[in-house]
Amino acid sequence: MFSSWSPEQTSNPDTEKNVDPLAGAGSGELIRTCDHIERSTALLDAFICSFQRSTTLFFGRIVSNPNDLPQFQDWLGYSMTYNGVPYGNGNALHLHNSVEIFVALDGDFEIGYTNPRTELNVNGEDSSREDNPIFTTVLKPMDLIACPAGCFHYYKNVDGSKQVKQILTILPGRPSVTWAPEVVHKARCGGAKCNDRGVLELPPATYSDDKPTMMMVAPEFPPVAGIADGDLAPFVRRYSDGVTSPQDHEKNVLRLGGPLDFADDIGEHQKMTVPHDSWIKIAYHDLDLQERYGASSVLNLDQSVFLDQDHPRNADFLVVVLKGRVSLNGGEPGQKFDIQNEILGPLDMFKLPSRRVDLSKVEDSNAGSKDYGSNGGGKTLWKAIFRAQGEERATLLIVASKLPHNFDFFFNPKEGGRLKK
Is the predicted pLDDT of residue 6 greater than 90, yes or no?
Answer: no
Q: Calculate mean pLDDT across residues 327-353.
A: 84
Quick one: pLDDT at residue 30?
78
Please count the other Cβ atoms lying within 10 Å of the Cβ belonging to residue 221.
Answer: 17
Q: Calculate mean pLDDT across residues 343-356.
A: 84
Which tens digits make up the pLDDT trace of 117-136? 756 565 656 555 556 789 99
pLDDT class of 419 with cuts at 50, 70, 90: confident
Quick one: pLDDT at residue 393?
95
Contact between residue 145 and residue 65 where contact means Cβ atoms under 8 Å apart: no
pLDDT class of 421 with cuts at 50, 70, 90: low
The whole-angstrom separation of Cα 336 and Cα 308 is 28
Dihedral angle sign, alpha carbons of residues 147, 401, 176, 218 = negative
Quick one: pLDDT at residue 372?
30
Quick one: pLDDT at residue 20?
33
The whole-angstrom separation of Cα 108 and Cα 237 is 14
- The DSSP result for 332-369, as a single string, is -TTS--SEEEEEE-TT-EEEE-GGG--GGGEEETTTEE
- 222 against 142, higher pLDDT: 142
Asked if the 36-253 domain carries CATH number 2.60.120.10, the reply is: yes
Beta-strand runs (E) in 115-180: 135-139, 144-147, 152-157, 165-172, 178-179
CA angle 283, 361, 22 (to 5 degrees): 65
- 13 against 163, higher pLDDT: 163
Quick one: pLDDT at residue 27?
62
Q: Is the pTM of this model over 0.85?
A: no
Quick one: pLDDT at residue 269?
57
Which tens digits make up the pLDDT trace of 152-176? 999 999 999 999 999 999 999 888 8
Q: Which of 56-70, 204-218, 262-276, 295-309 has the highest mean pLDDT?
A: 295-309
- DSSP letter at 200 equals B
The whole-angstrom separation of Cα 24 and Cα 357 is 15
Domain residue ranges of the chain, discontinuous segments joined by +: 36-253
Quick one: pLDDT at residue 202?
66
> Any residues with CB less than 8 A from the CB of 80 and at least 6 apart, and which?
57, 58, 59, 60, 168, 169, 170, 171, 318
pLDDT class of 377 with cuts at 50, 70, 90: very low
Please count the other Cβ atoms lying within 10 Å of the Cβ belonging to residue 201.
Answer: 8
The whole-angstrom separation of Cα 412 and Cα 421 is 14
Identify which of 132, 131, 122 has the alpha carbon closest to the alpha carbon of residue 185.
122
The whole-angstrom separation of Cα 5 and Cα 26 is 9
| Amino acid at the residue 93 | L
Is the predicted pLDDT of residue 321 greater than 90, yes or no?
Answer: yes
Is the predicted pLDDT of residue 369 greater than 60, yes or no?
Answer: no
> Any residues with CB less than 8 A from the CB of 117 and at least 6 apart, and which?
126, 128, 129, 132, 181
